[in-house]
């Protein structure tokens, strides 16, 4: 029942925010505060909902995995709403529906992960995707924003179409949209048509997860969006699709060799090429975009291994990426709000001008690179351990070697910020609410980097329940 | 107690980072105080060591789903390095007394904590965590406070080390997962994994795992042909960074080879001992020749390290008690003597504003104290009997002579020894001797205090090996007994 409360809270909370937006006088602070309160409430409820074992209306699973998705997504939304305080006075573009779409984006993710039939899965995915289309295009007076959002929209629609076509084939092959019926059909030996549909839907989900070769929209969408919106783009849909993919595989398709293999190859391509392309970037948003592709590759490696440990490693990866990736974008937002462009050139000498911001940003970048003691390292470690457990030693060696590339480009950013002399002198005044947000995220990065056991066992428990162990 | 040695430096670094002080007046004094207290603490542990096996053990659950725990303990192999780490932190802080950035002192303390963790960790993942953390402060120490080509040197150091360590991570995971079939559970605990050593040796993957570990350590050591990062990093690092690099960072390589390659893959080590021996031999001879050719004084010392660490590898490759003993002794001696050499070169370069050997003459005449200590350190570097370096090199060579695979190598290694003696003496002649050209201020009390412990220990450990030998024995003998029981 608590899961139902969470869903309703998100649905009507978003509606309330959308309606209140034009009426609210000091729009951003009030709305951001309300949004943060809403997400905090959702996070709290989803912790309680962890113990639930029920199916709502025969189509929505109320269990620990849904609760985990709600918790992570609410955390993502909470941080983004907080980060949005930095440039509140110029609540860019519209009348403040930003927050409503944030809430609906989270709602879509929760529905997608909890779905028990293909239709709800698709609806959840689309709701989450439409919210991010709007957020990507929100900065509508800038040409890059419109361009990036347009590319995102067109390619996103294409991927949705492929996904839908795949689902249609699955329906044709198995005669049902219900996960249980599909699973029963697959258990009797997968019908070829349905298997084809499954692979097509993997392509569609690969788009959403930004896996190579379906990644083309990512750099432009991230570059066009404001960093806060990009932070949401980089975390929420990934959490939803990452967890949703595991749920879809387990609930609907069972252990299918072909799909695991296909996902493994996508993973290899993503972390190899994502890291290679990131080497050449001088725009920080594009650098983070390509590095996201690489990170999603590591995530997909965990998903491809599967099993309670493999999925849990992917889940922990999402947690670590939510914190560190988010922090990196918020650092860009803080720097942009202080007038520093998001390029390596622009970040030169940042340490001299804004030492606090630089150190907090460095923690985020080091965590993304995978320096031990920070959450990003343990996330990689769990995924690598999953690969070793599955005996995928070639993939393991490739994965560890590509992390060296990651170190190289993240350290390039740090070298610019800490080692170079600034082009202009004078201390920057960094927005205090962003600085405190970055401080919280750095603390979480350290906390999960030193003591992962609690979070990991919770995530593992969620997947154990999913797998029926 | 051991945890204090690891985490107090981290906390102290945090205090320095948070305490606003412009000229680092507080930071350097605080760093000095903390590292001095920790040195005393490590000495207390050193003299309370019961004489054999692991002591001061602490174990806490850390990542139960992976079977990784926070497991630290010290044995006679690790203890000397823990003391050396603490002591060299004191020396480094004193050597950097004129630095005005508190971040520098915070990074030195971070290095101290992480390095102590490397030597104390008995869980493979914990070991890896500390092994990798070391890179970050070292990168910044070189890249921010180094000499003219610091950026290049720092990146090269980072990338070389990383390639080795990530492959080691793969090897660690492979070892633990393969051993779990034998042990019945997944564990990264060194002592538990040792029970699976015969099983690991029977696997076809054993050689891959062995080289996964060995590559990381051979890069760190460094051994030819993986040594090319070292001359850059050593030469470009600030004095304190060079002291840390030479004094402790390289030791992670030799320590790791003994602890993990010998302790977990003894059969593979004996299978590949000829390969490692040849690498050692090339390092000794080639390192000595390259030292001869240097024009930059700091680079000269750096290259002599390649030669010195070659003896360490040779001693390990011999797999004899005396050879391994010599390897550890040589590492400690090298830490003291090369640390002292880098300190002296750093102090010299601060005065002459050049590291070019051709531009220096008559240093002894113009600065008798600095020149005298430098002279002593160079003699220590060439392995003069009566100084610590001699005992290490001698025992390594002796051990190598006792083993069949490495016996013939000793004769060629002597050639390297001879060339290095020439290189060092020639350096004495070129830099220290000759007419006084210019007056420089001699060492001030702070600089003298930095050098004093190293000078004293280099002499004492050369004359009284009983201060170190029983400890090394306490670590090496049980390990060798274990290994011999299996081979």
**B465 lies within 8 A of chain A by CB:** no
User: Which H or E run includes B24?
Assistant: none
Peptide bond into A213 cis (omega under 30): yes
Q: Is B383 left (phi over 0), alpha (psi -120 to 50) or beta?
A: left
Residue B210 placed within a domain: no
Instruction: Please state, in angstroms and as integers, the Cα–Cα distance from residue B204 to each residue in B183, B332, B413, following that order.
Output: 18, 36, 34
pLDDT at B439: 81
Distance CA B28, CA A435 (A): 28
| CB atoms inside a 10 Å sphere around CB A8 | 11
Instruction: Report the distance separating Cα A413 and Cα A417, nearest Å.
Output: 6
Whether A394 and chain B come into contact, CB under 8 Å, resolves to no
Q: Which of A324, A323, A327, A300 is CA-nearest to residue A313?
A: A300
Joined tokens for residue A160: 């949705």
Give backbone dihedrals phi and psi of B68, rounded to 5 degrees, phi first: -105, 140
B11 pLDDT exceeds 90? yes
A460 to chain B: closest CA residue: B65
Q: Is B361 helix (H, G, I), strand (E, B) or coil?
A: coil
B385 CA: distance to closest CA in chain A (Å): 43
B65, A457: Cβ pair inside 8 Å?
Answer: yes
Least CB–CB distance from A400: residue in B63, B66, B169:
B169
- Among candidate residues A11, A34, A38, the one with its CA nearest the CA of residue A105: A11
**How far is it, in rounded angstroms, from Cα A378 to Cα A385?**
10
| CA–CA gap between residue B342 and residue B354 (Å, rounded) | 14
> CA-to-CA distance for B176 and B381, rounded, in angstroms?
40
φ, ψ for residue B189 (rounded to 5)?
-75, 130
Name the residue of chain B whose CA is nearest to A377's CA.
B129
* pTM score of the predicted model: 0.93
Name chain B contacts of A373, Cβ cutoff 8 Å.
129, 133
pLDDT of residue A89: 57
CA distance A56 to A114: 10
Gap between the Cα atoms of A136 and A229, Å rounded? 6
Within 10 A of A464 (CB to CB), how many other CB atoms are there?
A: 18
* B39 closest CA partner among B106, B85, B97, B95: B85
Which A-chain residues 320-359 have CB contacts (< 8 A) with chain B? 359
Report the C-alpha gap between A449 and A380 in whole angstroms: 11
B126 neighbors B62 (Cβ within 8 angstroms): yes
- Asked if the peptide bond before residue B222 counts as cis, ω within 30 degrees of 0, the response is yes
| ipTM of model | 0.91
A172 CB within 8 Å of a chain B CB:
no
Tell me which residues of chain A, numbers 242 to 301, contact chain B at a CB-CB cutoff of 8 Å: none
Residues of A in contact with B144 (CB under 8 A): 418-419
Per DSSP, the three-state class of A188 is coil
**Rounded to a whole number, what is the distance in Å from the CA of B207 to chain A's nearest CA?**
14
With 0-12 / 13-18 / 19 or more C-beta atoms within 10 angstroms meaning exposed / middle / buried, residue B378 is buried
CB atoms within 10 A of CB B352: 18
Contact list, B130 vs chain A (CB under 8 Å) = 372
- Number of alpha carbons in the 13 Å side-chain half-sphere of residue B94: 25
The Cα–Cα gap between A315 and B264 comes to: 33
Of A237, A200, A198, A201, nearest to A217 by C-alpha is A237
Measured between alpha carbons, how far is A284 from A290 in angstroms, rounded to an integer?
A: 10
Stretch 442-461 of chain A: residues touching chain B, C-beta under 8 Å:
451-453, 456-457, 460
Cβ B162–A377 below 8 Å, yes or no? no
A interface mutation test: which of B169, B187, B203, B206 has the most A CBs within 10 A? B169
What 3-state DSSP class applies to A186?
Answer: helix
Residue B445 in domain: yes
CA distance B229 to A94: 55
DSSP-based three-state secondary structure for B203: coil
B225: preceding bond cis by omega (within 30 degrees)? yes
Classify the C-alpha dihedral B37-B38-B40-B45 as positive or negative. positive
Assess if residue B252 is contained within a domain. no
Contact between A329 and A288 (Cβ < 8 Å)? yes
Chain B closest-CA separation from residue A115 CA (Å): 28
Q: For residue B333, what are its two tokens? A: 């001696």
Give the E-state strand segments of B79-122 in sequence order.
none
Q: Note the pLDDT of residue A95.
A: 58
Alpha-carbon span A51 to A311, nearest angstrom: 19
Q: How many CB pairs under 8 A join A and B?
A: 86
- E strand or H helix at A62: strand A60-62
- What is the predicted pLDDT for the residue at B251? 92
State the Cα–Cα distance between residues A269 and A211, nearest whole angstrom: 8
Chain A residue with minimum CA distance to B125: A381
- The answer to whether A90 and A146 have CB atoms below 8 angstroms apart is no
Residues 6+ apart with CB under 8 A from B359: B352
Residues 55-74 of B with CB under 8 A from A: 61-66
Pairing verdict, β A60-62 and B68-74: unpaired
Q: How confident is the model at residue B19 (pLDDT cuts 50, 70, 90)?
A: confident
Burial of B203 from C-beta contacts in 10 A (0-12 / 13-18 / 19+): middle
State mean pLDDT over B435-463.
88
Give A366's contacts in chain B (Cβ within 8 Å). Answer: 136
Establish if B53 belongs to a structural domain: no
CA distance B173 to B213: 11
- What's the DSSP call for residue B68? E
Element (H, E) at B335: helix B321-352
Q: Where are the beta strands (DSSP E) in B331-454?
A: none
Question: A400 to chain B, minimum CA–CA distance in Å?
Answer: 5
End-to-end CA distance of chain A: 23
**For residue A411, which residues of chain B lie inside 8 Å, CB to CB?**
139, 155, 158
For residue B444, tell me if it sits in a domain: yes
**B382-400 pLDDT, tens digit each:** 888 888 889 999 999 999 9
Return the pLDDT at B354.
Answer: 85
Three-state secondary-structure class, residue B65:
coil
Query: What are B136's two structure tokens?
Result: 């970050």
- What domain count does chain B have? 1
Note the helical H segments in A420-452.
432-450
Question: d(Cα A274, Cα A402) in Å, to the nearest integer?
Answer: 9
Contact B159 A384 (CB under 8 A): no
Paired tokens of B383: 């392995």
Give the CA distances from residue B4 to residues A197, B37, B72, B114, in Å, rounded to whole numbers and listed in that order: 59, 11, 11, 12
Query: Which of chain A's residues have a Cβ under 8 Å away from the Cβ of B177?
Result: 385, 388-389, 391
State the pLDDT at residue A254.
76
| CB-CB under 8 Å, B169 with A384 | yes
DSSP-H helix ranges across B184-320: 190-193, 197-202, 206-220, 229-236, 239-244, 250-256, 263-264, 266-271, 273-292, 297-318
Q: How far apart are the first and last CA of chain B?
A: 36
pLDDT digits (tens, 9 = 90+) for B187-240: 999 999 999 888 988 888 899 999 999 999 999 988 888 888 988 888 888 988
Residue B297 forms part of a structural domain: yes
With beta carbons under 8 A apart, name residues in chain A contacting B158: 407, 411
Residues 6+ apart with CB under 8 A from A404: B159, B162, B163, B166
Contact predicate B392/B334, CB 8 Å: yes
Look up the domain containing B337 and give its range: 272-487
Residue B43 included in any domain? no
Residue B291 counted as domain residue: yes
Backbone angles phi and psi of B462, in degrees to 5: -80, -25
Residues 113-132 of B with CB under 8 A from A: 125, 128-130, 132
Integer angstrom CA distances of residue A236 from A78, A109, A112, B65: 11, 7, 12, 27
d(CA B328, CA B78): 9
Distance CA A96, CA A73 (A): 20
Element (H, E) at A51: none
Measured CA to CA, the distance from residue A209 to residue A266 in angstroms comes to: 11
Residue A66: the pLDDT is 93
CB B92 within 8 A of CB A408: no
Ranges of chain A whose pLDDT falls below 50:
none
């Amino acid at each position: 029942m608590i899961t139902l409360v969470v869903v309703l809270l998100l649905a009507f909370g978003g509606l309330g925010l959308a309606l209140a937006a034009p009426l609210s006088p000091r729009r951003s602070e009030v709305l951001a505060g309300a949004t943060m309160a809403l997400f905090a409430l959702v996070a709290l409820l989803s912790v309680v909902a962890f113990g639930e074992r029920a199916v709502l209306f025969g189509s929505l699973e109320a269990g620990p995995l849904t609760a985990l998705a709600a918790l992570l997504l609410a955390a993502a939304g909470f941080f983004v709403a907080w980060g949005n305080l930095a440039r509140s006075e110029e609540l860019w573009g519209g009348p403040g529906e930003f927050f409503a779409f944030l809430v609906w984006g989270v709602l879509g993710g929760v529905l997608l992960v909890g779905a028990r039939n293909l239709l709800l899965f698709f609806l959840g995915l689309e709701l989450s995707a439409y919210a991010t289309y709007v957020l990507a295009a929100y900065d509508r007076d800038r040409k890059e924003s419109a361009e990036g959002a347009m590319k995102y929209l067109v390619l996103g629609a294409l991927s949705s179409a492929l996904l839908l076509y795949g689902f249609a084939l699955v329906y044709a092959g198995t005669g049902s949209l219900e996960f249980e019926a599909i699973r029963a059909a697959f258990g009797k030996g997968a019908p070829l048509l349905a298997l084809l549909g499954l692979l097509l839907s993997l392509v569609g989900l690969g788009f959403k997860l930004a896996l190579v070769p379906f990644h083309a929209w990512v750099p432009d969408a991230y570059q066009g969006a404001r960093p806060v919106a990009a932070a949401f783009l980089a975390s929420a849909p990934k959490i939803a699709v990452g967890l949703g993919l595991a749920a879809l595989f387990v609930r609907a398709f069972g252990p299918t060799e072909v799909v695991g293999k296909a996902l493994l190859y996508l993973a290899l391509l993503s972390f190899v090429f994502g890291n290679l392309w990131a080497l050449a970037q001088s725009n920080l948003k594009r650098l983070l975009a390509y590095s996201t592709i690489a990170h999603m590759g590591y995530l997909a490696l965990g998903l491809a291994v599967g099993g309670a440990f493999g999925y849990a490693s992917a889940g922990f990866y999402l947690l670590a990426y939510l914190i560190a990736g988010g922090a990196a974008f918020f650092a860009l937002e803080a720097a942009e709000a202080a007038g520093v462009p998001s390029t390596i050139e622009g970040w030169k000498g940042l340490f001299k001008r804004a030492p606090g911001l630089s150190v907090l940003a460095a923690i985020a970048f080091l965590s993304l690179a995978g320096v031990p003691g920070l959450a990003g390292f343990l996330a990689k470690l769990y995924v690598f351990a999953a690969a070793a457990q599955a005996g995928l030693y070639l993939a393991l060696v490739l994965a560890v070697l590509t992390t060296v590339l990651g170190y190289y480009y993240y350290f390039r950013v740090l070298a610019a910020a800490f080692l170079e002399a600034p082009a202009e002198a004078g201390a920057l005044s960094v927005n205090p609410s962003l600085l405190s947000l970055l401080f919280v995220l750095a603390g979480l990065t350290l906390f999960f980097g030193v003591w992962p056991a609690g979070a990991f066992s919770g995530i593992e428990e969620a997947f154990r329940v999913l797998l029926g162990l | 107690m051991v945890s204090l040695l690891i985490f107090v430096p981290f906390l102290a670094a945090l205090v320095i980072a948070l305490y606003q002080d412009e000229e680092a007046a507080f930071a350097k004094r605080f760093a000095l105080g903390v590292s001095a207290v920790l040195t005393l603490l490590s000495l207390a542990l050193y003299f309370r060591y019961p004489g054999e096996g692991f002591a001061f053990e602490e174990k806490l659950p850390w990542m139960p789903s992976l079977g990784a725990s926070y497991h630290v303990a010290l044995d006679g192999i690790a203890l000397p390095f823990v003391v050396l780490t603490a002591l060299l932190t004191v020396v480094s802080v004193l050597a950097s007394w004129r630095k005005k950035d508190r971040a520098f002192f915070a990074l030195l303390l971070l290095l101290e904590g992480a390095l102590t963790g490397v030597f104390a960790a008995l869980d493979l993942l914990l070991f890896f965590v500390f092994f990798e953390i070391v890179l970050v402060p070292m990168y910044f120490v070189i890249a921010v406070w180094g000499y003219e080509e610091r950026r290049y040197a720092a990146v090269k150091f980072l990338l070389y080390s990383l390639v080795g360590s990530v492959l080691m991570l793969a090897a660690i995971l492979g070892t633990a997962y393969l051993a779990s079939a034998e042990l019945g559970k997944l564990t990264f605990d060194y002592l538990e994994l040792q029970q699976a050593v015969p099983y690991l040796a029977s696997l076809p993957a054993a050689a891959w795992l062995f080289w996964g570990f060995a590559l990381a350590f051979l890069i760190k050591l460094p051994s030819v042909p993986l040594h090319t990062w070292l001359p850059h990093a050593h030469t470009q690092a600030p004095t304190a960074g060079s002291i840390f690099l030479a004094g402790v960072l390289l030791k992670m390589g030799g320590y790791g080879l003994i602890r993990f390659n010998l302790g977990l893959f003894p059969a593979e080590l004996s299978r590949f001992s000829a390969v490692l021996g040849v690498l050692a031999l090339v390092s000794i001879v080639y390192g000595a020749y390259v030292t001869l050719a240097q024009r930059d004084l700091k680079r000269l010392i750096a290259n002599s390290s390649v030669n010195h660490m070659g003896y360490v590898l040779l001693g390990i490759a011999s797999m004899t008690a005396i050879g391994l003993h010599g390897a550890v002794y040589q590492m400690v001696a090298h830490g003291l003597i090369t640390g002292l050499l880098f300190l002296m070169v750093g102090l010299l370069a601060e005065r002459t504003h050049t590291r070019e050997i051709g531009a220096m003459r008559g240093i002894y005449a113009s600065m008798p104290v600095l020149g005298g200590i430098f002279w002593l350190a160079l003699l220590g570097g060439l392995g003069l009997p009566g100084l610590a370096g001699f005992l290490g090199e001698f025992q390594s060579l002796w051990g190598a002579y006792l083993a069949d695979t490495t016996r013939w190598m000793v004769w060629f290694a002597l050639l390297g020894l001879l060339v290095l003696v020439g290189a060092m003496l020639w350096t004495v002649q070129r830099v220290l001797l000759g007419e006084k050209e210019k007056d420089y201020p001699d060492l001030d009390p702070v600089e003298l205090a930095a050098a004093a412990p190293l000078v004293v220990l280099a002499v004492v450990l050369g004359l009284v090996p009983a201060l170190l030998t029983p400890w090394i024995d306490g670590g090496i003998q049980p390990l060798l007994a274990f290994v011999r029981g299996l081979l």
